[in-house]
Amino acid sequence: MHGPPLVGWLLVLLCGAAGAYCLARARTGTAARRGELRGEGLMGLGMAVMALPASAMAAPAWSSWLFAGAFGAMGLWALARRHVHHAVGALAMVYMALAMVLPAAAAGGGSGGPAHLAEMHHAGPMGQVGPMSHAAPGGLPLLTVVLLAYYTVFVIAAGLRLVPAAVAAEGPVAAVAAGRPAVIRACRVAMGIAMLAMLLTL
């Protein structure tokens, strides 16, 4: 991922806060609701870890494969529970992790030698190493565009649903009752924006 270190820290704060809130809310509600919130929370925390700048963590060369495996399992779990949006998010994270590690492995001959390790630990403009940095942009342009389009539509649609016109019309009691679901929806919008930022700096 390319970009200034400040962007990385903002992504860490945004995704970490959203993920932690969703996990905290996952302790109540129906089983389906708890499962959905756990998926949101784990996604947010995983995104926060992947966005950590180099000053916080020097990621080992194999961390990209670890992220790909973890998010791949999360995507399969989401598909099994028919959470399509969570599955798309998890698979997008797998794509970004592999887009970072595969070009580096090819440049180093796949041997894991010094050239490969030097590229894997190269701190890009974002100041990151490991899974979120390499010497050149990676990924498939067409797939990146499709994911950008998906998350753009998602953020706009979810953001419009946050407009409190209906809540305001029903009065303050309804506003208090609807407050927590609105915060959860806002967390989803925030993570969607973070995903857009990560894809744009891929």
Question: Does the reported pTM lie above 0.75?
Answer: no
Q: How far apart are CA 1 and CA 34, in angstroms?
A: 32
**What does the pLDDT look like over 152-175, one tens digit per residue?**
999 999 989 887 644 554 555 444
Average pLDDT over residues 173-182: 54
| Residue 82 structure tokens | 């028919």
Q: How far apart are CA 10 and CA 73, in angstroms?
A: 26
Average pLDDT over residues 74-94: 91
The SS3 call for residue 131 is helix
Average pLDDT over residues 109-126: 39
DSSP class of 108: T
Q: How far apart are CA 194 and CA 25, in angstroms?
A: 21
Q: Does the pLDDT value for residue 201 go beyond 90?
A: no
Q: Does the pLDDT value for residue 183 go beyond 90?
A: no
User: Of 190, 53, 42, 191, nearest to 132 (Cα)?
Assistant: 53
Instruction: State the alpha helices, DSSP H only, in the chain.
Output: 5-25, 31-50, 63-80, 84-107, 114-120, 141-161, 165-170, 172-200
Q: How far apart are CA 88 and CA 39, in angstroms?
A: 12
Domain boundary assignment for the chain: 5-200
Residue keyed to tokens 């890009």: 124
